[in-house]
């Protein structure tokens, strides 16, 4: 039985994934329109090429090819007040935020979704590699079929309301197949490279970006014994486990072990340093994507994007405080990052790492 045709608004980014998503939805017989979201434009005092104009032009080519209407919606002011401010504020505290998760929760699946529903659309669609299924217990967010491209982690802050009005047409397709489909369909951006960097900002040197609002505060880089190894421009520009950008030549590769804000010191050491590994972390701001489960919970999870799912146990140990015990040692857990929790391939919850 053919499913009911829906009025769908696709977020066209200019990339191949959202283009194929729009192509598939139109092929299924839905009434498809598209929007390009302008959320960030370059600032004069930062050396990077903000990609929004090129992305917008590519999105227009795709829309013209598919014969669908494309509008540009400007959320730049809201993006700066939420995502960019959160990025600066969190780094200023010495933490490591994940702006892409907030961008999805607050911009794509909040502002964009609300405006789409107000305009009379049934659903919004994006090119994310994730799946949504519905049953009597609600809407469930599943990992994408392509393990290498699964983006459910970035959607870990979504709610039932947001999931109920969203579509991810690429959830059951692997990336190579998406490329192949784009070429076979003749999509004008079939060979365009995937975007990289911060959500809507693009590829930019993080230190240069942060220095727009957070002034350099030079200090010493020291080893585990306190020996001075070099100089840094500001400890808040670094994150645990980071290797690139330390700029200490010679000898074995060094990794950021911790940031001592009180002494303004960056502590570094080899990858095998015991302080870089832990089996227990604490998290706060627990968020259920759907049905709540009773604690303690045995599940799987990840503390960063692209990490292999890790076996873990979750205990509630206080008001807005949870202890995560992993089966295996975890490398470079970073306060401020997001823990995503899975039962089998369903993302059931998320929380913010505090230590």
Q: Is the peptide bond before 296 cis (omega within 30 degrees of 0)?
A: yes
DSSP H stretches of helix in the chain: 16-27, 52-66, 76-79, 85-92, 99-103, 113-118, 160-164, 175-185, 206-210
Q: Are 18 and 25 in contact (CB under 8 A)?
A: no
Say which of 25, 62, 103, 182 is annotated catalytic.
Answer: 103
Say which of 21, 66, 84, 199 is annotated catalytic.
Answer: 199
> Which H, E and C letters describe 90-131, residue by residue?
HHHCCCCCCHHHHHHHHHHHHHHHHHHHHCCCCEEECCCCEE
CA atoms within 13 Å, Cβ hemisphere of 193: 7
Alpha carbon 235 to its chain's center: 23
50 tagged catalytic: no
Q: Are 129 and 151 in contact (CB under 8 A)?
A: yes
Looking at the annotation, which residues are catalytic? 103, 199
């Amino acid at each position: 039985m053919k499913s009911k045709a829906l009025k769908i608004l696709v977020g066209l980014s200019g990339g191949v994934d959202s283009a194929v998503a729009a192509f598939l939805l139109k092929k299924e017989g839905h009434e498809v329109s598209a929007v390009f979201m302008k959320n960030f434009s370059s600032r004069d005092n930062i050396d990077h090429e903000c990609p929004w104009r090129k992305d917008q032009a590519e999105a227009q080519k795709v829309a013209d090819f598919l014969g669908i209407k494309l509008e540009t919606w400007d959320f730049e002011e809201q993006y700066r007040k939420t995502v960019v401010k959160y990025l600066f504020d969190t780094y200023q505290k010495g933490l490591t935020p994940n702006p892409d998760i907030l961008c999805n929760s607050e911009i794509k699946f909040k502002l964009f979704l609300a405006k789409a529903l107000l305009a009379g659309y049934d659903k919004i669609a994006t090119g994310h590699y994730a799946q949504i299924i519905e049953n009597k217990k609600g809407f469930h967010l599943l990992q994408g079929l392509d393990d290498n491209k699964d983006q459910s982690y970035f959607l870990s802050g979504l709610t039932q309301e947001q999931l109920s009005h969203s579509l991810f047409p690429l959830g059951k397709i692997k990336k190579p197949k998406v490329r192949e489909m784009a070429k076979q369909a003749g999509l004008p951006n079939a060979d365009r490279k995937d975007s990289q960097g911060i959500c809507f900002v693009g590829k930019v040197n993080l230190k240069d970006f942060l220095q727009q609002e957070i002034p350099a505060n030079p200090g010493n880089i020291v080893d585990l014994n306190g020996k001075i190894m070099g100089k840094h421009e500001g400890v808040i520009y670094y994150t645990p486990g980071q290797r690139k950008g330390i700029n200490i030549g010679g000898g074995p590769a060094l990794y950021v072990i911790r940031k001592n804000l009180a002494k303004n010191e960056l502590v570094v050491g080899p990858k095998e340093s015991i302080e870089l590994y832990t089996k227990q972390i604490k998290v706060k701001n627990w968020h259920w994507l759907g049905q709540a489960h009773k604690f303690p919970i045995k599940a799987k999870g990840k503390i960063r994007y692209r990490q292999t799912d890790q076996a873990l146990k979750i205990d509630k140990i206080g008001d807005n405080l949870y202890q995560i015990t992993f089966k295996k040692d975890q490398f470079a857990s970073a306060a401020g990052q997001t823990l995503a929790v899975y039962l089998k391939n369903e993302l059931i919850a998320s929380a913010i790492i505090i230590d």
